[in-house]
Chains A and B, each alone.
Chain A
Amino acid sequence: MSSTAGAPTGGDVLKAPNVIEYPFSRTTGPVIGAFMTGMREGIIVGIKGADGRVIVPPQEYDPVTAEELTEIVEVGDAGVVTTWCWVNEPLTDQPLDRPFAWAMIRLDGADTDLVHAVDTDGDQAVMATGMRVKARWLPARPADVDTEADGGTSAGSDDSGYRVGHILDIACFEPEGVPE
């Protein structure tokens, strides 16, 4: 745990830094778990909605009928930008620390949009609705690297630089056609 009350600063009215910090550990259930498993495997999955459309990221419950959804399907890791915005000054903890775009991305085979960051080397002019982007994955964790640190199945953005089963296993998206 950590909530730290720092030293007060001067003035008639006392003020002090107050940090609320916790490494939340979240059990996922089967649907979110399948999406996270896919992340670790370098695969993006969605789920079939009640009306047959493929929802990405997968929703546990249908947004119209509220029924349980169960049919996980694989979609592509590239797709089309349906809208975007440009962030000149990224906030702390956002996926990139230089200017980037947020985009809603209609992945190949999906019927709804995933939100993620798009890296264009800081060049806003590259961005356009309708452009194709593809996921930039972190590398898979090599077999000889210890995976037990989090109890094996407890993944997280563990700063290892490898895929662990987390939305940030996709570091960001990038324009399709950028050489590796």
Chain B
Amino acid sequence: MGKERVAIVGIGQTKHQSTNDGSIAGVVRTAARRALGDAGMTWSDIDAVVIGKAPDFFEGVMMPELYLADALGAVGKPMFRVHTAGSVGGSTAIVASDLIASGIHERVLTVAFEKQSESEAMWALSVSMPFQPPMHAGAGGYFAPHIRSYMARSGAPDHIGILVALKDRLNALKNPYAHLHEEGITFDSVKDSMMLWDPIRYSETCPSSDGACAMVLTNEAGGDAAAAAGRAPAWVKGTALRSEPTMFAGRDQVNPQGGQDCAADVFAQAGITDPLREIDVVEMYVPFSWFEPMWLENLGFAPIGEGWRYVEDGVTQMTGELPVNCSGGVLSSNPIGASGMLRFAEAAMQVRGQAGEHQIDGARTALGHAYGGGSQFFAMWVVGADKP
């Protein structure tokens, strides 16, 4: 990390839903105002604003930070826009953290959003370009072969994906902000849902959501002040980014090197040598259920080929040794640009003890994880209840 310790002192998010009836600014603003309120701050307390979202085509507004400057109280301040595909919510939070860690600013507001209902995810994600090899099957069709490769390599049985989806959707029932609240969901209802991109079933895929997430980050003095006021901060113990080429000969898309390196880097910064034991809770970017066992291995929580056994043994349940996605995760809410920041924010909520019904008692150290593109962009942070 840098010169200054970084504390997360305010977190806010919208209720994620298929259509939010506010304006684009209204959606972003709602999360930002909640984060400010949580931090006990007003707009004038903020030094700089960092905003992230996925492609501008989703809302049909080019460089929307320009239009959103007023809504985020950024007039007269630095305003910064990040876009790193699906990992963007995570990389946006890291830019905000860097602005504090470097000593440049004291209090930074960071926001990420997507208002997918303005257009349609399937459209914006699969614009067919001339001369490109035809995309025969959309995002699920891109990832399904990699999942099949994982199953072949590890010998994982078909029901693992169902278990993950069931767990995340049940966890979502404890999160009032989650998009999907499927009260009657069962193993069989997931199993019987339509097989879209074999082996991916309908209930094993993420929804398309409108939503936003925001955080207020401060330096050590700000974190200490929050603690003194009885609002426990989360402390940033490490941040890391990694990217690798989208397509190259011999690329391992099941266990990408970029993810391994990113995890190794962030754990080293946080002084973590045995992640399974030392991390109390994980918010992991899992848009298709099978990515949970794949990322368990990629991040070093499980030996190669064993991730699915952790799922089967209940390790990642809220009652397990390593609870994963207590919020319901991306499988229950997916405002794309915000999804990565939600992982980072939910990790911080856990170590602040403010996760409500989906709180893991005594969580002291948490990992927030985001990835994007064809699993080639990674962003992660480790946050803790204790000052690093």
Contact = CB atoms under 8 A, between A and B. Distances in A.
Contact of B26 (A5, A60, A63, A67): A60
Contacts of A17: 130
B123 interface: yes
A22 B119 contact: yes
Contacts of A31: 23
A92 interface: no
A66 B23 contact: no
Given A22-B60, A28-B23, A66-B71, 19 more contacts: A1-B122, A3-B127, A3-B128, A5-B128, A5-B131, A14-B131, A16-B130, A18-B129, A22-B119, A22-B120, A24-B118, A29-B25, A60-B25, A60-B26, A60-B29, A61-B29, A63-B70, A63-B75, A64-B75
B120 A1 contact: yes
Interface in B4-41: 19-26, 29
Given A8-B130, A18-B130, A22-B123, A60 B75 contact: no
Of the four ranges (under 10, 10 to 19, 20 to 34, 35 or more), the interface on chain A belongs to: 20 to 34
Interface in B91-146: 117-120, 122-123, 127-131
Interface of B: 19-26, 29, 43-44, 57, 59-60, 70-73, 75, 117-120, 122-123, 127-131
Given A16-B131, A18-B130, A29 B43 contact: no
Contacts of B72: 66
Contacts of A29: 21-23, 25-26
By CB atoms of chain A within 10 A, which of B23, B24, B44, B72 has the most?
A: B23
23 contacts: A1-B122, A5-B128, A5-B129, A14-B130, A15-B130, A16-B130, A16-B131, A18-B129, A20-B57, A22-B60, A24-B59, A24-B118, A26-B23, A26-B24, A27-B23, A29-B22, A29-B26, A32-B23, A60-B26, A61-B70, A61-B71, A65-B44, A66-B71
Q: Interface majority SS on B: helix, strand, loop or mixed?
A: loop
Interface of A: 1, 3-6, 8, 14-18, 20, 22, 24-29, 31-32, 59-67
A27 B19 contact: yes
Contacts of B44: 65-66
Contacts of B127: 3, 20
A24 B60 CA distance: 7
B65 to A, nearest CB: 15
